[in-house]
Amino acid sequence: MTDGFVGYRSQLVETLQGKGVRDMAVLRAVATIPRHLFVPDPLRHQAYDDVALPIGNGQTISQPYVQARSCELMRLTGRERVLEIGTGSGYQTALLSMLAESVFSIERIADLARHAHEVIRALGLDNITIMHGDGSLGWRPNSPYDAIVVAAASPAIPQPLVEQLAPGGRLVIPVGPRDAQVLTLVTRHREDTGYESTPVHDVRFVPLLGQFGFAGTG
């Protein structure tokens, strides 16, 4: 994609490499997807800083490092079905479109889902499906998924998401209380419905709201 931000994307890639991101497919996606189109116009000058930015409705576009690391943890090869919980701006959704065969994304805020869909459609990314709904429930009709990524903090690992993982599938999710969480990699066992979880590093996300997220928020 040719625009005036190519150099900024290259600098962001260098920043991510300096922080330990090694997956070349992830880095190519960051170098390609125009993050400035996914942030509000007044913040475009910060679009390629390695920081989270507000996108309205009390939500944020996450720090690029955290998104790149989450994508890297899923170990995508381009052949997977991926579920994203929390479309938000749609930026991570767009990154995933370059890393997987098909991407299904759920957003509970209708305005954000609509805007993300418009930007993604304008970019010609045609392997993405976005739904407005409760992401904590997952999207069972399209399961099982080879990988699931959750872009909101959950007090615990939502059982519906584990159930919708294919055997051997990976789930990346921030787990913990509202004020601080641990990015966690969950791997479903190949031989049964059990799973193991591995803490990765400390993060801070907006809360996952819904039936299997933080209670009483719908």
Active site residues: 62
Residue 204 structure tokens: 């801070």
Cα 18 from Cα 81, distance rounded (Å): 29
Which of 76, 20, 70, 82 minimizes the C-alpha distance to 182? 70
**136 close to 212: Cβ distance less than 8 angstroms:** yes
Residue 91 structure tokens: 């930026």
Residue 11 structure tokens: 């600098």
Which of 158, 190, 193 minimizes the C-alpha distance to 174? 158
**108 close to 127: Cβ distance less than 8 angstroms:** no
Strands 102-107, 128-132: pairing is parallel
For 106, how many CA atoms within 13 A lie in the half-sphere containing its CB?
Answer: 22
What phi-psi label fits residue 3: left (phi over 0), alpha (psi between -120 and 50 degrees) or beta? beta
